[in-house]
Amino acid sequence: MASRRAGEKLILEGKVRVNGRFVLLLGTKVDPERDEVMLDGKIIRARRKLYIALNKPPGCVCSHADELGRPTIYQLLPKEWQIVNSVGRLDFNSEGLIFLTNDGQFALRLTHPRYGVRKKYIATVEGKVEPAMLAEFTRGIFHGGERLKAEKARIMGSSNAKSVVELELAEGKNREVRRMFESQNVSVKKLQRVQIGKIKLGELKLGKWRTLTEAEIKTLLLES
């Protein structure tokens, strides 16, 4: 109904009642399952929490709007579900698994470094990748003043023309996989996120979405 700051203003203006009584004390706690909250005489109900898994296509951004007019992932969702936000991001050219939700606590637990939820990527890069390069990634490298580190890394296929590498990260800093390869002067041709925690992309088709099951949500929260 309002941002936090605007909500505080509504409370101080005497427009909010809980269980029939006006509440003027900021920070008053309510239980949405039991307490009746009213704004200007109308009952306010908590929004249903949504948890979505989407297979993001390349060529779109993870913002609600883009100043350059590029397509967004929200155009792939029903209009009534525009209240969700992406849990972390994938850059414009990357693809794969991304979660969207209107549950802020869920998003925090999956993105904050202290919880260390692991994410798995498959990168197709130019040229032949040697094991020594991946050893550097797992030890940690510095790029742009930040330490970037893969928890695990393995070569899935390699030739003189291209290599396919699987990497597992715990932090997911901005463009972390691409920056790792950039530090070695290696160009990434395709980058796909295939797993977050124990939830795999599976057979979800590019540009399609599904809701997470209760069991999947609990699994993700137990991991974090």
Quote the pLDDT of residue 224. 58
- The pTM assigned to this predicted structure is 0.82
Which sign, positive or negative, has the C-alpha torsion 113, 84, 168, 178? negative
What is 158-221 written as a DSSP string? E-SSEEEEEEEESS--TTHHHHHHHHTT--EEEEEEEEETTEE-TTPPTT-EEEPPHHHHHHHH
Question: What does DSSP assign to residue 224?
Answer: -
What domains are defined for the chain? 4-44 (3.10.290.10), 51-113+199-223 (3.30.70.580), 118-196 (3.30.2350.10)
Question: What does DSSP assign to residue 79?
Answer: G
Quote the pLDDT of residue 69. 93
The DSSP bridge pattern shows strands 95-101 and 188-196 to be: parallel
Cα–Cα distance measured from residue 168 to residue 180, given in angstroms and rounded to the nearest whole number: 12
Cα–Cα distance measured from residue 176 to residue 191, given in angstroms and rounded to the nearest whole number: 11
What is the residue-level pLDDT of the chain in tens, covering all 224 positions? 777 888 899 999 999 999 999 999 998 999 888 999 999 999 988 778 999 999 999 999 999 989 999 999 999 999 888 899 999 999 999 999 999 999 989 999 999 888 989 999 999 999 999 999 999 999 999 998 899 999 999 999 999 999 999 999 998 789 999 999 999 999 999 999 999 999 999 999 999 999 999 999 999 998 75
Active site residue ranges: 91
The strand pairing partners of 17, in sequence order, are 22, 38
Helix (H/G/I), strand (E/B), else coil: 54: strand
Quote the pLDDT of residue 48. 85
